[in-house]
C-alpha cells in the first residue's frame, strides 16, 4: 500500500496543479468580466453564458466545427476500416504497407499542415491545369467554399493510421473457424463481412467512432496551421476561437464561459454516442 501511494501520489498532485486547478479557475473566471489583463474584475453571474448564445461568431464556429467533425469522422472510419481489411488479408509486403500507412501519424500536425500548404499553393494548381479543370485552378485554402474540404483532406490523411491500427487489432481477434464455416455454407465476401467481420469488431468500431468525433470536435492545430481560421473566418473552429479571442481579444472571461459550455457539449455527445453504439453492438 505504501509503495503504491508513493507512485500514485506525485502524479495525482501534478494532475491537480496543472489540470484540475486551472480548469476550476477557468470556470470561476467565466462568472466574471475579467479581460485577462486588468488587475481587478467583477462577478457578473451567468451573463457571459447568456451572451455566448447571442454571438454570431461563436454560432458560426459551432457550425463549422460540427460539419468538419461529422464529415471527417465518417471518412476516416470508412478509409481506415478498408485499409485494415486489406492489410489483414494475405497481401504481399504486408508489414511494409503497415509501416507506410502509419507514417503520417507519427508526424507533427504542424509539419503535415505546412507540407500541404506548399502542395496546395503549387502542385494542386498544376495538377488541376493538367486535368483541364480550370475552376479548381486556385489554392483551396484561400477559397471560401473549398477551404474546409482541404482541411478535411489533410486531417483524414494523417488521422486514418490510428484508426487502422485499432481495426487491425479487432480483425486479428476473429477466429478463422468462423470464416471456414461460412465458406462451407457458401457465403460470399459481402455476407461474410456483415455476418461475421463487422459484428465481431463492433466494440472497436464503437471506440473508433467515439474517439474520432471527440477528437475532431476539438480541431485546432490543423486549422491554425492551414488557414488560421480564414478565409473570412469560415474555417474558424471553436477551439481556435477560444484561444484567439480569449488570449489576445480581451475576452478571457467570455471565452472561458464558451469553453465551459463546449466541454459540456462534448461530454454529452460522447456519452450519447457511446450509449447508442453499445446498444447497437448488443443487437448485432
Q: Where are the domains of the chain?
A: 56-282
3-state secondary structure of 283: helix
DSSP 157-224: HHHHHHHHHHHHHHHTTS-HHHHHHHHHTT--HHHHIIIIIHHHTHHHHHHHHHHHHHHHHT--HHHH
State how far the Cα of 50 lies from the Cα of 270, in Å rounded to an integer. Answer: 24
Listed as ranges, residues in the chain with pLDDT below 50 are none
Specify the pLDDT at position 28.
94
Specify the pLDDT at position 67.
95
Mean pLDDT of the chain: 88
Q: Break the chain down into helix, strand, coil percent, rounded to 5.
A: 75, 0, 20
Per cent of the chain over pLDDT 70 is: 99
State how far the Cα of 43 lies from the Cα of 145, in Å rounded to an integer. Answer: 41
56-282 maps to which CATH number?
A: 1.10.3720.10
State how far the Cα of 77 lies from the Cα of 44, in Å rounded to an integer. Answer: 44
Instruction: Report in angstroms the alpha-carbon separations of 268 from 16, 126, 160, 271.
Output: 24, 45, 25, 5
For 277, the grid coordinates are 453504439
State how far the Cα of 53 lies from the Cα of 49, in Å rounded to an integer. Answer: 7
Determine the straight-line distance between the first and last CA of the chain, rounded to whole angstroms: 43
Specify the pLDDT at position 84.
92
Specify the pLDDT at position 107.
85
State how far the Cα of 51 lies from the Cα of 45, in Å rounded to an integer. Answer: 12
Specify the pLDDT at position 1.
58
Specify the pLDDT at position 155.
93
Q: Which residue is it, cell 474540404?
A: 149
pTM: 0.87
Specify the pLDDT at position 2.
64
Amino acid at each position: 500500500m505504501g509503495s503504491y501511494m508513493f507512485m500514485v501520489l506525485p502524479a495525482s498532485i501534478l494532475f491537480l496543479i496543472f489540470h484540475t486547478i486551472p480548469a476550476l479557475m477557468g470556470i470561476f473566471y467565466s462568472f466574471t468580466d475579467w479581460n485577462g489583463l486588468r488587475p481587478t474584475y467583477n462577478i457578473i453571474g451567468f451573463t457571459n453564458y447568456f451572451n455566448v448564445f447571442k454571438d454570431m461568431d461563436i454560432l458560426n464556429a459551432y457550425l463549422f466545427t460540427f460539419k468538419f467533425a461529422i464529415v471527417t469522422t465518417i471518412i476516416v472510419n470508412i478509409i481506415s476500416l478498408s485499409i485494415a481489411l486489406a492489410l489483414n488479408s494475405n497481401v504481399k509486403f504486408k508489414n511494409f504497407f503497415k509501416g507506410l500507412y502509419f507514417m503520417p501519424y507519427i508526424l507533427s500536425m504542424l509539419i503535415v499542415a505546412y507540407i500541404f500548404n506548399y502542395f496546395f499553393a503549387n502542385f494542386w494548381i498544376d495538377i488541376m491545369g493538367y486535368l483541364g479543370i480550370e475552376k479548381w485552378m486556385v489554392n483551396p485554402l484561400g477559397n471560401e467554399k473549398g477551404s474546409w474540404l482541404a482541411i478535411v483532406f489533410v486531417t483524414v490523411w494523417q488521422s486514418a493510421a490510428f484508426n487502422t491500427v485499432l481495426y487491425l487489432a479487432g480483425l486479428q481477434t476473429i477466429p478463422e473457424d468462423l470464416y471456414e464455416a461460412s465458406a462451407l455454407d457458401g457465403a460470399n465476401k459481402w455476407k461474410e463481412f456483415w455476418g461475421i467481420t463487422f459484428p465481431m469488431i463492433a466494440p472497436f468500431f464503437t471506440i473508433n467512432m467515439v474517439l474520432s468525433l471527440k477528437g475532431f470536435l476539438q480541431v485546432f492545430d490543423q486549422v491554425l496551421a492551414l488557414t488560421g481560421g480564414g478565409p473570412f473566418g469560415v474555417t474558424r473552429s471553436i477551439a481556435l476561437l477560444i484561444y484567439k479571442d480569449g488570449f489576445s481579444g480581451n475576452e478571457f472571461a467570455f471565452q472561458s464561459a464558451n469553453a465551459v459550455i463546449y466541454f459540456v457539449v462534448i461530454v454529452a455527445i460522447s456519452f450519447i454516442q457511446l450509449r447508442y453504439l453499445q446498444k447497437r453492438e448488443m443487437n448485432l
